Amino acid sequence: MQQPQAIIFDLDGVLTDTSEYHYRAWKHLADDEKIPFTREENDAHLRDVGRRESLEYLIRDRQYSEQQMQEMMGRKNRYYQQCIRSMTSADVAPGGRDLLQEIRQRGIKTAIASSSKNSLTVLEHLGLIPLFDGIADGWCVVNGKPAPDIFVYAAGMVGVHTPDCLGIEDAAAGVEAIKAAGMRAIGIGPRERFHGADAVLPELSNLRLAQLLDAR
């Protein structure tokens, strides 16, 4: 593609493997509540899905009051925060820091578009905050992915029109959000996970900018 003016990254499962920690935290909660929940279900249904929507998926038609749901969301978040507490700069996807530096050296803006309210904490642990021109997280918009809002918000933060942005995602809902925002979308993961992506790459590890721009 023509060189984008901004590259907007999802965080969990793209720049770092926190999607595994989200899974473990939901699994811990599901085990507490004796709700069956598998890794396969997590991959198929919870990747990039917001906290409440994830809980709603997990409990399905079991009856819980709003107060009980709030308590469960809080409990899952505490389990998640225990997982991310020990993260360090070594937890950035291999080559991720070099890729961000290369993008910035080329004069392209970098931004985060993550649904997670824990994004800033994770980025601080990873030492990545100085490498982003804009960080849009779960506190910024009301409608989560697959709505385009978080990507549009991130583009606004860096002052780039959405057609000039490239979005990078590891989840189907995220690719849908990027496309709805009018951006080019790259999916990171198995090809069968993504339908609407413009290009798919198996992983972000050790990628250079040219490979990102030439991806099909």
For residue 9, what is the DSSP state? E
What strands, in cross-sheet order, belong to the sheet with 184-188? 134-136, 109-113, 6-9, 165-169, 184-188, 199-201
Catalytic-labelled residue, pool 12, 48, 137, 149: 12
* Residue 50: contacted member of ligand G6P, Mg ion, none (CB under 5 to 8 Å, by partner type): ligand G6P
CA 106 to chain centre: 24
Task: Identify residue 71 by its one-letter amino acid code.
Answer: E
| 138 lines the binding site for ligand G6P (CB under 6 A) | yes
CA of residue 152 relative to chain centroid, distance? 15
Partner interacting with residue 170 (select from Mg ion, ligand G6P, none; CB below 5-8 Å by kind): Mg ion
Which stretch, 85-93, 113-121, 158-166, 189-197, contacts ligand G6P (CB under 6 A)?
A: 113-121
48 lines the binding site for ligand G6P (CB under 6 A): yes
CB of 173 to ligand G6P, least distance (A): 8
> From residue 196, how far is each of 120, 153, 170, 171, 201 by CA, in Å?
29, 21, 13, 11, 14
Binding-site member from 4, 9, 15, 22 for ligand G6P (CB under 6 A): 22
Catalog residues that contact ligand G6P under the rule CB under 6 A: 12, 19, 22, 46-51, 54, 77, 114-118, 138
Which residues carry out catalysis?
10, 12
